[in-house]
Amino acid sequence: MDNNITTVITTLLSTTQAPESVSGYVGFLCLTISVLFFGSNYLPVKQFQTGDGMFFQLILTLAIWTVGFVVHAIRGFPKFYALPMLGGFLWSTGNLNTVPIIKMIGIGMGTLFWNTILLIVGWAVARFGLLGVKPEVPSNEILNYVGVIFALISGIFYLFVETESSVPEERQHLINAPIAEITTETEISGVLTNVDDDIRSETFFDKLNTGSKRLLGISMAIFSGFLYGFTFTPALYVQDNYENASQNGLDYVFSLYTGIFMSSIVYFTIYCIIKKNKPMVFPKVILPALISGWMWGIANSSFFLASNSLTQAITFPIVSSGPSAISALWGIFVRCDWISALWHIKINYFVNN
């Protein structure tokens, strides 16, 4: 069994074609890794100060680019296509919203909304052949449409789920309490220290009330979902329309990741100019951001690897909806969010069939 897996993975890494004869279990193994990492990659940074998220994204995308370079080297430095960099730009632009979204509506709700839109947009591009991509007709069209409808319904129902507070519970009573109620010297010292930290890291999003945070967070998640949905379209366009273009998705990982990293550098430069060279930098988030970026890079590469042995019609719905379920399951352990987890598990059955 181990020798078979090694042979299959070697074939997937070396071929320039889409090896349809490869055993499906290898594809599902890669897909499982992709879903688990996509659904968990923001957990390392959840408990760290990230400010407005610009510095976090720069470090995150640096880690992503290093994964892309390793994949490119393993593949023997194949031809570099510039067009997939456009997909990297779209992803990087959407990902600028990640930290504010998580702060305003939480990782579970944020992941649900952007993955729901990602699923619908990606499905529409592949199903109807939008933007020059060859259409892929599913074997069971009725069940396919039912799955998309259930994905939409899940987003509507999640609008009524309460979001988590970005303020730790042990500090909430100190922040909300009148000054007269904070009587001990220890409490006063703690409040002054925490307020000083919060002032340095406070952003526009932190000043919004709960209702405004929910509305803006959901809107930003939907916008990001649209951008994420078109991330792979340029690479698919190259595969379908460029002469002698490789049909192995791994050959487009490095150009995609390069577009992600270069866009983040541009955005961070503009951000530094706007901030008059006083960006919000949090050294403690560097390692968590690197881990988060490596996880995302591996997840996305595993997705391409899975798509080589399976089909896009199978892998895309799973990798779009699966991470939401993983995030919801994490919510069970983090804050007992069991209702949303059960809902995700139910709709994923319909989406992936």
What is the per-residue pLDDT across 33-90, written as a single tens digit (0 to 9) for each?
A: 988 898 888 788 777 777 778 898 999 999 999 999 999 999 899 999 999 999 999 9
Taking 50 as the pLDDT cut, the residues of the chain under it are 1, 5, 19, 21, 165-200, 336-352
Angle (CA) 214-52-258 rounded to 5° is 110
Q: Which two tokens stand for residue 205?
A: 């999003």
In angstroms, the CA 315 to CA 244 distance is 24
Q: 24-40 and 2-14 helices cross at what angle (nearest 10)?
A: 80
Q: How confident is the model at residue 16, as a pLDDT?
A: 53
Q: How confident is the model at residue 336, as a pLDDT?
A: 46
Q: Which two tokens stand for residue 124?
A: 């529409």
In angstroms, the CA 15 to CA 191 distance is 60
Amino acid at 143: L
Q: 98-128 and 338-351 helices cross at what angle (nearest 10)?
A: 20
Distances in Å between the Cα of 269 and the Cα atoms of 205, 258, 262, 283 are: 21, 17, 11, 18
**Gyration radius of the chain over CA positions:** 21
Q: How confident is the model at residue 188, as a pLDDT?
A: 38
Q: Is 277 helix (H, G, I), strand (E, B) or coil?
A: coil
Q: How confident is the model at residue 323, as a pLDDT?
A: 76
Angle (CA) 256-262-266 rounded to 5° is 145
